[in-house]
Structure 1
Amino acid sequence: MSPFRRLPFLLGTAALIAAGAPACAWADTPARARAEAQAQLARIARYEGAVNAIIVHDANAARDAAAAAAAHPGSPIAGRTVLIKDNIETREWPTTAGSLALAGNATGRDAPLVARLRGAGAVIMGKTNLSEWANIRSGSSTSGWSAVGGLTRNPHALDRNACGSSSGSGAAVAAGFAWAAVGTETDGSVTCPASLNGVVGFKPTVGLVSRTYVVPISHSQDTPGPMTRTVADAALLLTAMAGPDPADPATALANGRVPRDFAAGLAAASLKGQRIGVLRRQAGSNDKLTAVFDAALADMKRAGAELVEIDYTPDPAMGRDEYGVLLFELREDLGAYLRGLPGKPKVRSLADVIAFDAATPAEMRWFGQDTFEEAEHATDRAAYEKARANSLRLAGKDGIDKLLADNRVTMLVAPTEGPAWPLDLVTGAGGLRGVGAGNLAAIAGYPHLTVPMGAVEGLPIGLSFIAGAWDDAKVLQAGAAYERARTARISAPSFRRWGE
């Protein structure tokens, strides 16, 4: 989900999935890798027509998984299948960001994060659908729709939204189409679809994972992140994805600040003795949702956590100024990406994209491009720099940092999002208002983990863990400890309409 829905303007086996159990310890044998990929291909054949999460996939994934497992003995992700959001370049397939303007954007190159995954033995299973242009084209868009991929549906309720912009990645993991997926987030685009689809999603500190060859919105806030069924799997995927990239200066900030292995210590991680801040106001007022949240808090308390209630109300200037930042950076960053594409793409600037859309009825059927048009005129650098400084201060120094320090807590928790809302391409209907605190972490560039904590009327709800910059490992450890303490039953997707 792009910020514009939230801001004021704007596989293991089927049995494992059904039980909501963690993945088994992985034995990286070619036979097991082949069998797991075959099972995923069978699930794609059976359910993808209903879910519409994948734009293109590797029909030879079982063969490729066996080969990767044989070639990378000892790697914890050797032979594991990973789906990649279609705004991240892979050498096999075009990278479209869901737009017909980039339908032929076959660059023949891997984003550095994809190259790292291959180097660790992962099999790139295919490309997932997304909210077009990561849901920044219009304030009235429908999450999960793109002109290239159509509308992604939530496998827990096929008439409900999968959220976005990493809608296909979240839905595909929930459906068991791959071991894991990679999404991208500017503000909520990993954590919202993970929450609504009942999977784990992790937005790392900006700079932990390279953004090179990822179709951008904002260099201040963009980051790829893992989407998996367990926290341990997210840590394994993050370990393989993360690392320095000379072409992305933000990654230099991670040097010496993060561990080499994010999965280390997860099995022994505990909530005992941790003071954790509860953002009660960000739980909203829906009784069924707050009951799920209270049950998760009770689980954490039984596991030894000391819960500290925090009454926080964000300054409206934070969201206002974030919007100004995203408009300015979109025009510049997207333009730089398009100008750097090899070959002869149809578009080389945001202005070109606007003109293409205006001349393409299939792009404009359901909603317009008001945000694009506004961004094209956002050229005041002084105003942009002032807005960035203020939004960063309100979310970081005077936001998360202050909340942690003033309340002497290690991290913050809140529901990630409300339950999935009905699909509606005509009006772009959204969900509950006032739920979640993910925009704090998004604007500050801090880590944000969501872990399934239960459901409202069969619709999944995620629990957010948010901490300070470079505390990614700490957040993952807390999430893993909560996962073990959780008493709620995590149900399997129904692949039916809600209520059936």
Structure 2
Amino acid sequence: MNRRNPCHALFALAASLVLGATHSADARDAEPTYDAAAEVAAQIERIREHEDGPEGLNAIIAYSHTAGFKVREMADIGSLRGRTVLVKDNIETTEFATTAGSLALAANHTRRDAPLIAYLRSNGGVVLGKTNLSEWANIRDGNSTSGWSAVGGLTRNPHAIDRNACGSSSGSGAAVAAGFAWAAIGTETNGSITCPASINGVVGFKPSVGVVSRTHVVPISSTQDTAGPMARTVADAAMLLTAIAGPDAADPVTLTAERVPDYAHGLSDYSLEGVRIGVMRGQIGGNEQVRSVFESALSDLERAGAVLVDISFEPDERMYSDSFTVLKYELREEMGTYLRSIPAFADGETPRSLADLIAFNEANADEEMRWFGQSIFVDAEETTDRATYEEARERAVRIAGEETLDALMAEHDIAFLTAPTRGPAWMSDLVLGDQFDGSIGFGSPAAIAGYPHLTVPMGDVEGLPVGISFFGAKWADHKVLKLGAAYERARTAKLPEPSFERWSPE
């Protein structure tokens, strides 16, 4: 597969009637002054300038340099009206292969649209290309380097190209920060939208599990997986979520999800006056510079009228080990189901199970396992006890949801929780792996329970972006987005611009 080889194939229109789409093309006026044709030309120029070469970002695996034709065709359709979207390369689109970053799926050109992509197209969105990611969404090994895949190489952070873009939606976060598209779609199992969004200085939203379909998305866990928007503003993220959300008969959890018709409605006039927000003091971490930026963000919230409630809380750590058991069991089961659903490759043997992927990596170790192994894959292949899995799943979801997030909001009479998302980007090191500060952030309970999690840029540490996280109850996605938009208006911090250079203390 030739990386970033422009695709000349025509974009297929969404079969929205088959999916039962109910989105209104005119639910709201979608900024008619937005010139999508002019924007796509500038975006492709930025891709050509900053993507390739020895110090390029490696944020994109493939893109269409003829997307301008499609943008003009879609300029009057739906709510997005030709806006360009980059798609993480574990989500199927008709015009590109879906590799999950692995050479084992380099020929995985299914010519299927995931339902979320069909919804996107029916609402006027244009798929510009596929973004790089942590291979297999960072579930292959415990000593990986985030943002690296055998297909795409190592994604670089546009704010400091020698630093990490976080994973697994690294390419989506870096591409939005670099201005390569209007927005991007990432996926998250635990932190894979919110971490790269925070570290690349963009907005990232992990919706409640079930708001967005997972069909034809390379899986890890049906309990925790979801796709979600990554954009430069909360309003743009909300627009994109509206475009991709919807029911899917092949993904039953989506049939009972509680959605709103327009996630951007009411964002501009939501008031923080009297809104009670719990501050997770124990999850700020030990980095004093992050603490200082976060305290400034809290001051912005207070000036806008929010009532802040300090919370000291240490989660029941059983949910972490139980969640890991769930991920391994579901990975083996659901990866096999996905692989058996894809068309046979024209050239080469088509993998049909997790065991096949393990064997492929062993046979291609020089390319696939030079930097790290596949210990989690191997453990997952051996995680077969269903009773143990079901017990772990019930306990993990209950602790994370009812006994953590729900209990905290009820006990303190609060509508939302907040904490820093992550610390600043660390130096990328393929030899030693990731070096992030695990003491910062409170994202795991929302990931494990399937609750919404929004990160919004709140400033920087020495030019490296950091984000603030907002959490709400299950299905409170719209409320969380409104809170984020209100914070965005109240924010006083000056946000850093990408330098596309190596970090310097100057």
TM (normalized to structure 1)? 0.93
Equivalents in 1 of 2:183, 2:245: separation in Å?
15
Asked if 1:403 is matched to 2:408, the reply is: yes
Task: Give the count of matched residue pairs.
Answer: 470
Q: In the alignment, residue 85 of structure 1 is paired with which amino acid? A: K
Q: Detail structure 1 runs of 4+ shifted over 3 Å in the superposition.
A: none
Structure 2 CA distance for aligned equivalents of residues 291 and 432 of structure 1: 16
Q: CA deviation at 1:439?
A: 0.4
Q: What CA distance in whole angstroms lies between the structure 2 residues aligned with 1:270 and 1:162?
A: 33
2:131 is the counterpart of 1:135: no
Structure 2: which amino acid aligns with 1:316?
A: E
Mapped pair 1:57 → 2:63: yes
Checking the alignment, whether the CA contact within 8 Å between 2:30 and 2:81 is kept in structure 1 is no
Aligned position for 1:12: none
Structure 2 gaps, min length 5: 1-28
Amino acid at match of 1:362: E
Pick aligned residue for 1:354 from 344, 347, 358: 358
Per the alignment, residue 336 of structure 2 pairs with: 335
The residue type equivalent to 2:32 in the other structure is A
| Cα 1:25–1:122 shift into 2, 3 Å | closer
C-alpha contact 1:28 1:69 (8 A) present in aligned 2: no
* In the alignment, structure 1 residue 26 sits paired with structure 2 residue 26: no
Quote how far apart the aligned CAs of 1:258 are: 2.2
Distance between the aligned counterparts of 1:91 and 1:206, measured in 2?
A: 24
Residue number among 103, 108, 124 corresponding to 1:105 in the alignment: 108
Aligned to 1:230: 233
Instruction: Name the CA distance, whole Å, in 2 between partners of 1:227 and 1:376.
Output: 32
**Amino acid across the alignment from 1:286:** N
Task: Tell me if the contact between 2:79 and 2:243 (Cα under 8 Å) persists in the aligned partners.
Answer: no
SS in 1 for 2:51: helix
TM-aligned CA distance change 1:358 to 1:421, over 3 Å: same
Residue 252 of structure 1: which of 251, 255, 267 is its match? 255
> In 2, distance between residues paired with 1:265 and 1:356?
50
> Does structure 1 residue 69 correspond to structure 2 residue 75?
yes
Give the C-alpha shift of residue 100 in structure 1.
0.3
Post-superposition shift, 1:28? 6.2
Hey, what's the Cα distance between the residues in 2 that align with 1:189 and 1:53? 15
Match of 1:493 in 2: 498
CA distance in 1, matches of 2:184, 2:431: 29
Counterparts of residues 29-44 of structure 1 (less than 5 Å)? 32-44=35-47
Shift of 1:433: 2.5
Any idea what SS the aligned residue of 1:205 has?
Answer: coil
Q: Does 1:161 align with 2:164?
A: yes
What is the correspondence of 1:305-324 to structure 2 with a 5 Å cutoff?
Answer: 305-324=306-325
- Distance in structure 1 (CA, Å) of the matches to 2:259 and 2:116: 17
Q: Is the 8 A contact 1:81 1:124 kept in 2?
A: yes
**Which residue of 177, 191, 201 corresponds with 2:194?**
191
Distance 2:330 2:99 in 1: 20
1:460 counterpart (460, 465, 477): 465
The AA in structure 2 aligned to 1:347 is P
**Does the CA contact (< 8 Å) of 1:26 and 1:76 recur in 2?**
no
Instruction: Tell me the CA shift for residue 56 of structure 1.
Output: 0.4
- Out of 170, 175, 179, the residue aligned to residue 178 of structure 2 is 175
The CA deviation at 1:286 is 1.0
Give, in whole Å, the separation in 1 of the partners of 2:218 and 2:297: 36
Question: Which one of the candidate residues 193, 200, 205 is aligned to 2:203?
Answer: 200
Q: Report the alpha carbon displacement of residue 63 of structure 1 after superposing the two structures with TM.
A: 2.1
Maintained 8 Å contact 2:293/2:459: yes
1:313, distance to aligned residue in structure 2 (A): 0.6
Q: What does residue 289 of structure 2 align with? A: 288
Question: C-alpha separation between the residues in 1 aligned to 2:33 and 2:129?
Answer: 21
Q: Distance in 2 between matches of 1:247 and 1:25?
A: 30
Query: What is the rounded CA distance, in whole Å, between the counterparts of 1:316 and 1:400 in structure 2?
Result: 14
How far off its partner does 1:132 sit? Answer: 0.2
1:128-180 deviations in Å (ceiling 9; x for gaps): 00000000000000000000000000000000000000000000000000000
Is 2:489 aligned against 1:484?
Answer: yes
Contact 1:28–1:79 (CA under 8 A) maintained in structure 2 = no
Local SS of the residue matching 2:319: helix
Give the Cα–Cα distance (whole angstroms) in 2 for the partners of residues 163 and 429 of structure 1: 9
Question: 2:272 maps to which residue?
Answer: 271
Amino acid at match of 1:278: V
Structure-1 separation of matches of 2:170 and 2:480:
23
Give CA-to-partner distance per residue, 1:352-386, whole Å, 9 cap, x none: 00000000020011000000000000001111011
RMSD: 1.1
User: Is the 2:344–2:350 Cα contact (8 Å) retained in structure 1?
Assistant: no
Query: More displaced, 129-138 or 61-70?
Result: 61-70
- Distance in 1, matches of 2:33 and 2:343, equals 37
Structure 1 residue runs of 5 or longer lacking an equivalent are 1-23
Deviations 1:308-334 (A, max 9, x none): 000011112111111101010000010
8 Å CA contact 2:146, 2:434 repeated in 1: no
Pair 1:212 & 2:218 matched: no
Contact 2:281/2:311 (8 A) holds in 1: yes
1:458 counterpart letter in structure 2 = G
Of 426, 432, 441, which aligns to 2:446?
441
Describe the superposition over 1:67-99 as per-residue Cα deviations: whole angstroms up to 9, x where unpaired.
1104x1xx3311100000000000001000000
- Superposed displacement of residue 394, structure 1: 1.0
Q: What TM-score do the two structures reach when normalised by structure 2?
A: 0.92
1:10-32: CA deviations, max 9, x gaps? xxxxxxxxxxxxxx973267xx2
Q: Is this contact kept in 2: 1:270–1:481, CA < 8 A? A: yes
For 2:332, the aligned partner's letter is R
Contact map agreement 1:411 1:467 (CA 8 A) in 2: yes
CA–CA separation in structure 2 for the residues paired with 1:64 and 1:492: 30
Contact in 1 for aligned 2:446/2:471 (Cα 8 Å):
yes
**Cα separation, 2, equivalents of 1:258 and 1:337:** 27
1:72-83 equivalent positions in 2, closer than 5 A: 72=77, 75-83=78-86
* Matching residue's letter, 1:149: G
User: 2 CA distance for matches of 1:336 and 1:25?
Assistant: 39
SS in structure 2 opposite 1:462? strand
Give 1:343 shift.
2.1
